[in-house]
Amino acid sequence: MNDIAAPQKASKPRPTKDRLIRAAAQLFSNRGYHGVGLAEILAEAQAPKGSMYHHFPNGKSDLAMASATWASDQILLLIAASFEPSDSFVEGATTLCHKLADLFEVTGKWCGCPISSTLFEGPDNAEFHSHAAHLFEGWITEVDYHAQRLGLPKERAAMAAQNFYILLQGGWQLARVRRDSQVIRALPALLHYKPAAPGEACSDT
Amino acid sequence: MNDIAAPQKASKPRPTKDRLIRAAAQLFSNRGYHGVGLAEILAEAQAPKGSMYHHFPNGKSDLAMASATWASDQILLLIAASFEPSDSFVEGATTLCHKLADLFEVTGKWCGCPISSTLFEGPDNAEFHSHAAHLFEGWITEVDYHAQRLGLPKERAAMAAQNFYILLQGGWQLARVRRDSQVIRALPALLHYKPAAPGEACSDT
DNA sequence: ACACATCTGGACCAATCGGTCTAGACATGT
DNA sequence: ACATGTCTAGACCGATTGGTCCAGATGTGT
């Protein structure tokens, strides 16, 4: 897993494996695991079949795992880049939403969440599911860490992280449906982060 | 579309078409459009291939459209059944979440949202996308209607409906990841429905 | 120069894919 | 009895799928 993000230790500038992972991540997030054939991935990555089965002996499923991990790491970087320079949780969350929205607008690609597209649509393989769960929890953990770092008490931070995750997934989906990034930009308003207002929060439960 | 929910007007107790639609809806929502082959659907519905191409001349895509429509109608019924006997928006939303959570617990099937699984994973066909968008907007419209009926002012109702939709989709996804219906039951607490508390809602935006 | 490990290139495969086609079962109206 | 339209049943098809295999190109250490 760790050998993906960093280039191979030897000075080899031939990133066939990387090309495969990136191509797979992009295609899977657009059309899901079963929606993309190996031929398409190989064409996009300009790699022959032999190379792929050299780097990923278990074939498509191996590649899917690796590409999901890579995509998840990209998201983690995005989270860190958004929260690190921020002074409050809501500011970080807002930055993240805007970065994500910008990404959609600039690329024009209304892809789905790479992990759910790649691993959730696949065979109901237990390994796929647990890996997806692991990656998702990694997102929540990362947000939780920043929430605590930015001053939220432990319990509030956990709630805020999970809440933000839910909003992000739901908003991502609706934005894709409408092809409108405004949905994502409006998400932070739904966080309802109230540093000190315990009483009379909701009507009932 | 309307001929799906109701049985054929003549007294024909042979619901092959219905069996196909239900089987397809269930399988698609579990593993996505491309994740299910016709053979599997036909086996599940106990129907031969000829029957299917009689009822759905355009094959798999036709069946997917019909099954997504049917599944969407089921959700609409669930929405109506939850909000109609309720006295407030939050109460209706809470009921809906609990009904959905119960469904997951009872059936033990942690399927995904039938529409996004069926239509969003399919070929990036424009028809699929617009149909999915249409169905989703139908959900939001239905919730919006009940929100207004239960006393929310027009603008608040629209916001609440969209907000609830986002929470439901995001929560549904996280519940599937964790196989824990508690996530869905906890959603209404995130609605933050405050009938009369204009001041000091959020910190910043 | 040599051996060795890594990686590439693509031919080849069985299995499955979605889709077509037709023969006949079945109910119905006349 | 007969014709008609609806629906069932499954054999069959070409295309594509993921996967296997191996010859050979390439780089590296000695």
What tens digit of pLDDT does each residue of B90-128 get?
Answer: 999 999 999 999 999 999 999 999 999 999 888 888 999
Q: Name the nt closest to A38 by C-alpha to C1'.
A: D18
Look at residue A192 in the predicted model and tell me its pLDDT. 73
Q: Is A194's CB within 8 Å of B187's CB?
A: no
Please say whether the beta carbons of B188 and B97 come within 8 A. Answer: yes
With a CB cutoff of 8 Å and minimum separation 6, the contacts of B33 are A32, A35, B60, B64, B117, B118, B119, B121, B122
- Cα dihedral sign, B155-B158-B162-B163: positive
Tell me which residue in B32, B91, B203 faces A195 most closely, judged by beta carbons: B203
Q: How close B153 comes to chain A (CA, Å)?
A: 17
Q: CA–CA separation, A186 vs B195, rounded Å?
A: 21
Q: How high is the pLDDT of residue A13?
A: 54
d(CA B205, CA A148): 20
The C-alpha atoms of residue B119 and residue A14 are separated, in whole angstroms, by 38
State which fold the A66-189 domain adopts.
Answer: Tetracycline Repressor; domain 2 (1.10.357)
Question: CA(A8)–C1'(D30) in Å?
Answer: 24
pLDDT for the residue numbered B98: 98
| Nearest CA among A86, A83, A82, A17 for reference residue A54 | A17
Q: What's the rounded Cα separation, in Å, for the pair A176 and A198? A: 35
Enumerate residues 110 to 139 of chain B having a beta carbon within 8 A of any beta carbon in chain A.
Answer: 112, 116-117, 120-124, 132-133, 136
Answer yes or no: do A116 and B173 touch at CB < 8 A: yes
Which residues in window 21-50 of A are less than 7 A from strand D by Cβ? 34, 36-40, 49-50
Under 8 Å between Cβ of B25 and B118: yes
As a whole number of angstroms, the distance between CA A42 and CA A38 comes to 6
CA of A24 to C1' of D19 (A): 18
**Closest nucleotide over all strands to A63 (CA to C1'):** D18
Taking alpha carbons only, the member of A76, A120, A190, A84 closest to residue B176 is A120
pLDDT at B31: 95
| Percent of all residues in chain A with a pLDDT value above 70, rounded to a whole number | 87
Cβ-contact A161, A147 below 8 angstroms: yes
Low-confidence stretches of chain B (pLDDT < 50) are 1-12, 193-205
Burial A89-123 (b: 16+ CB within 10 A, else e): bbbbbbbbbbebbeebeeeeebbbbbbbbbbbbbe
Q: Is B195 left (phi over 0), alpha (psi -120 to 50) or beta?
A: alpha
Report the gap between the CA of B166 and the closest CA in chain A (Å): 4
| pLDDT per position as a tens digit, A19-70 | 999 999 999 999 999 999 999 999 999 999 999 999 999 999 999 999 999 9
Within 7 Å: CB of B6 and strand C? Answer: no
- pLDDT, one tens digit per residue, over A138-197 is 999 999 999 999 999 999 999 999 999 999 999 999 999 999 999 999 999 999 744 334
- Asked if the Cβ–Cβ distance from A121 to B117 is below 8 Å, we say yes
What's the CATH architecture for B2-7+15-190?
Orthogonal Bundle (1.10)
Q: What is the pLDDT of residue B151?
A: 96
- The answer to whether residue B171 neighbours chain A at the CB level (below 8 Å) is yes
Listed as own residue / partner, the contacts of A34-39 with beta carbons closer than 8 Å and 24 or more positions apart are A34/A121, A34/A122, A34/B31, A34/B32, A34/B34, A34/B35, A34/B121, A35/A121, A35/B32, A35/B33, A35/B34, A35/B121, A35/B122, A35/B123
Q: At residue A202, does pLDDT exceed 50? A: no
Closest approach of chain B CAs to the CA of A12, in angstroms? Answer: 37
Mean pLDDT of chain A: 89
Whether residue A6 is predicted with pLDDT greater than 70 in this model: the reply is no
Beta strands in chain B, from DSSP E residues, in sequence order: none
Triad B122, B128, B129: Cα angle to 5°: 100
Query: A88, B166: Cβ pair inside 8 Å?
Result: no
Classify B179 in phi/psi space as left (phi over 0), alpha (psi -120 to 50) or beta.
left
Instruction: Give chain B positions within 8 Å (CB) of A183.
Output: 166
The pLDDT-based confidence of A200 (bands split at 50, 70, 90) is very low
